[in-house]
Amino acid sequence: MEIIETSDYYQVQKHPTSKKLLVICSSLDTRHPKFTFWKLAQKLECNCLFLNSPMTHWYRTGIIGVDGGLPGITKKISDVRTSLGIEETIFFGVSMGAYGAILLGSLSKADHIIAFSVEPLLGVPGGRTEVTRNHLQPVYPDLRVLDIPKISLIYGEMDISDAIGAQLLSEACKDISVYRIPYAEHDVANSLNYRDELVPLLLNLINSDSVQNNSLLYGPSPKNVFDTLHKINNDYLGHKWKSVLVHIERNIGLLTNSLLLTFIYAACKYKLGQYEESKSMLIELLKREKQIPHAWNLLSSCEQRLKSYERSVVASDIAIKLKPTYSLFHMSKCTSLLKLGMINEAYKEVKAAGMLNPRHKPYIDQINRLEVELNYPLSTEESLRQEKEDSNLMKILNQEFDNTEAQSFDLKYFTQSMAPKLIAGAC
C-alpha cells in the first residue's frame, strides 16, 4: 500500500492492483492524526481513503482540510475514485464512523455501506450521540431522510440503543441486510476481532454478497421486542426500575425472544434488592448464551450481595476474560477480593480499573486507600495515565481475552451448596 496523500483528518492509500475503494470513517475515540482500523485495512487488499471527524461534528461539516463542507468531501471522494480508476466504492465505519459512512456514502452514491453499531438519530438521550447537541443539531439529525444505498448493518443484540437503531434503519432502507451478534454490546468490532472473525467478515462483505460467520444471526430483533425496548428505554435510563419491571411483566412472554429484555429484567430485580431472583434469571440467561460479559458481571454482583464472595470472584473472572478492558469488571472483582482479605490481588484489579478509567474518582479513592494500607506511593489521575501508557496495558489486557471458559462453564456451580473454605491468600 502506498500513501499518496495524507493530512491530520484524511489519508489516501493506493493498492497496486485493486479497483475497489474502501472509505473508512473513524470512530469517536480516534484522535487525529490517527485513523480507526488503519492497521487492519492493510489486510483488506483495497485502495483506502481514511477519514476522521471531531466528535462534536459527527461528520456533518465534512472533513477538516477539505474545503467546501459536505459537498467538498463528496467531490474529494469522486476525485479519488477517478484518479485511482475505481470501479466499486465501499464505505465502512463503527459507531460515529458508521454514521459517517452512511451519511457520506449516501451523498457519494456508494456501491455498498458496511455499518457496525450505529444510532441513526442524533442526540437521543442515553445514546452515544448526546455530544452532538450543539449548533449543528439541525444538520442531518436523522439518517433516514437520505437515499441510503445498499447497506450491511451489524450490531450487538445486548445494546439497547443499537438494537433500536437497527430496527429503525431496517424499516427505512430499501436494500439492507441486518445481522446481530447475540452476546455483543456496542463493541461489536472488538468482539469479532477478539475471536479472529473481523477481518474474514469484512473480506466476505467486501468481496461477495454472502456472509459466512457463526457469530451472526440474520435480521433485527422481533418488532414486538423493539416496541418494548423503545417504551422502556427512557425509564431504564432514568433508573425507574419498578416502572421498567412492571412493563416487562406485562409482556413477559417476550423474554424467550430477547436476551436483552431478559438481562434488563434481571438488572431491575437486582436494583430493587431481589438478588436471588436476579441470580436465577441470570443463570437461565447464561444457559441460553454464555458469552454475555455483563450477565457474568451482574451475576458476580448478585453473589456479592448474597455474601458468596468466592463465587463472585469466579463470575468476575469470566466477565473479564470476555471483555478484558472494561474497568467495571475489574472493580467488581476487587470488591469481592477485599471481602476475602486478598488485599494484594484486590489492589491489582482496582489499579487496572483506575488505569482503564483514570477520570473516575471512586477508582482513585479506592486505589489510594489500598496504597495507604500497603505503604505504596499514592497514585493520581496523571500517574495512572502515564502508567497505562508505559505498561502497554491495553495490549496486555487484550491478549487475556478467552471465551472458552465461559462456553464450557458448568452453571450448576452457582446453585450447588458449598462448604465454607478459605481461598489461598485470604485472611
Cell 477480593, residue located: 337
**What distance, in Å, lies between the first and last C-alpha atoms of the chain?**
58
CATH code of the domain covering residue 328: 1.25.40.10
Q: Is 355 found in the same domain as 296?
A: yes
Q: What is the pLDDT of residue 423?
A: 44
Q: Is there a single domain that holds both residue 196 and residue 240?
A: no
For residue 157, is it within any domain?
yes
Q: Do 249 and 110 belong to one domain? A: no
Which grid cell is 244?
Answer: 421498567
pLDDT in tens, the chain (427 residues): 889 999 999 999 999 999 999 999 998 777 778 798 889 999 999 999 999 999 889 999 999 999 999 999 999 999 999 999 999 999 999 999 999 999 999 999 999 999 999 999 998 877 888 888 889 889 999 999 999 999 999 999 999 999 999 999 999 999 999 999 999 999 999 999 999 999 999 999 999 867 888 889 998 889 999 999 999 999 999 999 999 999 999 999 999 999 999 999 999 999 999 999 999 999 999 999 999 999 999 999 999 999 999 999 999 999 999 999 999 999 999 999 999 999 999 999 999 999 999 999 999 999 999 999 999 999 999 999 999 999 999 999 999 999 999 999 999 999 987 654 444 333 3
Q: Are residues 406 and 323 in the same domain?
A: yes
Number of domains within the chain = 2
Mark whether 207 and 327 lie in a shared domain. Answer: no
Domain-ending residue, one of 185, 218, 251: 218
Q: Is residue 225 part of a domain?
A: no
Q: Beta 2-6 vs 10-14: how paired, if at all? A: antiparallel
- Inside any domain, residue 420: no
Query: In this structure, are residues 96 and 58 in contact, taking their beta carbons and an 8 Å threshold?
Result: yes
Kindly state whether residues 253 and 177 are assigned to the same domain.
Answer: no
191 and 127 inside one domain: yes
One domain for residues 336 and 204: no
Query: What pLDDT was estimated at residue 418?
Result: 65
DSSP calls for 284-329: HHHHH-TT-HHHHHHHHHHHHHTT-HHHHHHHHHHHHHHSTT-HHH
- Indicate if 190 and 270 belong to the same structural domain: no
Write phi, then psi, for 155 (nearest 5 degrees). -145, 165
Domain boundary among 189, 218, 247: 218
Does 306 lie in the same domain as 197? no
75, 145, 183, 294 from 254: Cα distances, Å = 48, 31, 18, 20
Residue 70 inside a domain? The answer is yes
Backbone angles phi, psi at 10, to 5 degrees: -155, 155
Please state, as a whole number, how many other Cβ atoms lie within 10 Å of the Cβ of residue 76.
22
Query: In the prediction, which pLDDT does 101 show?
Result: 97
345 within 8 A of 333, measured Cβ to Cβ:
no
* Among candidate residues 166, 196, 218, the one where a domain is terminated: 218
CB proximity list for 399: less than 8 A, separation 6 or greater: none
101 contacts 120 by C-beta, under 8 angstroms: no
Of 237, 193, 187, the C-alpha closest to 29 is 187
Q: Residues 197, 105: one domain? A: yes
For 168, phi and psi rounded to 5 degrees? -60, -45
User: Does a structural domain hold residue 423?
Assistant: no
198 within domain boundaries: yes
Whole-number Å distance between alpha carbons of 257 and 246:
18
Q: Domain range for residue 321?
A: 230-414
Separation CA 205–CA 101 (nearest Å): 15
Residue written as grid cell 472483582: 333
Q: Say how far apart CA 72 and CA 141 lie, in whole Å.
A: 20
Instruction: Determine contact, residues 308/336, Cβ cutoff 8 Å.
Output: no
Asked if residue 80 and residue 57 are part of one domain, the reply reads: yes
In this predicted structure, what is the pLDDT of residue 305?
Answer: 97
What order of strands is seen across the sheet that includes strand 88-94? 2-6, 10-14, 47-51, 20-25, 88-94, 112-116, 151-156, 176-181, 217-218
What pLDDT is recorded for position 209? 67
Q: What is the CATH number of the domain that holds 21?
A: 3.40.50.1820
The set of cell numbers assigned to 393 is 496495558
176 inside domain: yes
Return the amino acid letter for 134.
N
| pLDDT value of residue 85 | 95
